[in-house]
Amino acid sequence: MSLKIIAAVTAGGALGTLLRYIINLAALPSGYPYGTIIENTGGSFILGGVTAWFLTKKAPEWVKVGIGTGFCGGLTTMSTLASDTVMLAARDASAPVIYLGMSIFGGLAAALIGFYSVSFLLREKGGPSL
């Protein structure tokens, strides 16, 4: 593993984590974990889009891991999803079902939308189709 890859993952992770913190601060007053939903679905959308991009465009490995593993990994959070689910279950037995449904299916939908949106844009600009 090269120093450039380590630096890219570190920088991407720091930026993703900072954005996650800002989103959580903005969503905190609602009392519901909207921040985590936004972070995870947004990160899924971005990762879906960059996956489509990198399947058709050449990029150095450090760029790929800096954005994917670093930024998207720092932005999204499985541990907070789990913690929020437990917190919601303590309040109301049905709340985690809705939250998990929005998080899981929303994340999958966002990744697909990101992937196919970028694929469509690349095709429109004369790029190869996926």
Residue ranges at the known binding site: 73, 76
Residue ranges at the known binding site for Na(+): 73, 76
Contacts 24+ apart (CB under 8 A), 34-41: 36/77, 36/80, 36/81, 36/84, 36/103, 37/99, 37/102, 37/103, 37/106, 39/75, 39/76, 39/77, 39/80, 40/76, 40/77, 40/81, 40/103, 40/106, 40/107, 41/103, 41/106, 41/107, 41/109, 41/110
Cα–Cα distance between 20 and 35 in angstroms, integer? 8
Collapsing DSSP to helix, strand or coil, 2 comes out as: coil
